[in-house]
Amino acid sequence: MRARLGDNGANIRQNPAIPQVFTCESESIPTFDADAIVLAGDIGNGAAGIDWARETFRGPVLYLAGNHEYYEGEFEAVQEAMEAAARKLAVELLDCSEIVLDGVRFLGCTLWTDYSLAPQKERPAVIESARKLNPDYQLIRYGSRAFAPEDAIALCARHRAWLAAALAAPFTGKTVVITHFAPHPLSIAPAFVGHRANPGFVVDLGEAMGSAALWIHGHTHTFFDYRAGGTRVICNPRGYPDEATGFRPDLIVEI
């Protein structure tokens, strides 16, 4: 299968994968022939990214929400709007769900974070710092109140449990996992190693590595391509305008 990854996404075709990520305001999008497009979140606020993806790409589009999709909105309302847009536009919205295309299984969830990357003694302070400084907790509404770290932790527990069960289910073909939040500490940019904010971006799913041929993630604004436990992990973000992320529009990966 062949995949192309974009602003936190990928585009997939039988027997290679081209990581490349685009924003809703991206300049010109190159044309290509692929079996599927994978977009791993932070494409646009609300359902705008789904609309853009269908206008921009031909063929199957696999889309999952990042944290930015929920900005300036109420969590459940945004979820419902994305689901409605996905149904209308024939986009596959992955939310703790899976799809099999051409014999390849795609498992997708946002993942969120449980701050477990922080040492136990430091975790309460790290969470309180995130509560004050992370825009997620100012820009996302959760019912009648602000989204909180405790909500992210609860969502992460649910997503981790679903992913563990899905990976354990028998499947004879290859598996690709798509999460928005990073699944391994190797997805921390050198400039941020040891930074107190890292637990808000990365969840260590090292125990799950080896269960998938490829793991695509977003969230971080640095290009990554490494192997962990036999799984190839790729993040190929377009990032913000004029941001140097290491974005590689022509990267091809064999799955």
pLDDT for 4 beyond 90: no
What average pLDDT score do residues 184-205 get? Answer: 93
Question: Would you state the structure tokens that stand for residue 6, as one six-digit string?
Answer: 């974009």
pLDDT tens per residue, range 42-91: 999 999 999 999 998 888 899 999 999 999 999 999 999 999 999 999 99
Where do the structural domains in the chain lie, given as residue ranges? Answer: 2-235
Q: What are phi and psi of 236, to 5 degrees?
A: -130, 75
**pLDDT value at 150 more than 60:** yes
- Give the mean pLDDT of 26-52: 81
Burial of 238 from C-beta contacts in 10 A (0-12 / 13-18 / 19+): buried
Query: pLDDT class for 233, splitting at 50, 70, 90?
Result: very high
| pLDDT mean over 178-198 | 93
pLDDT confidence of residue 254 = 67
151-169, pLDDT tens digit by residue? 999 999 999 999 999 999 9
Q: What's the whole-number average pLDDT of the chain?
A: 87
Give me the CATH code for the 2-235 domain, please: 3.60.21
Specify the pLDDT at position 16. Answer: 37
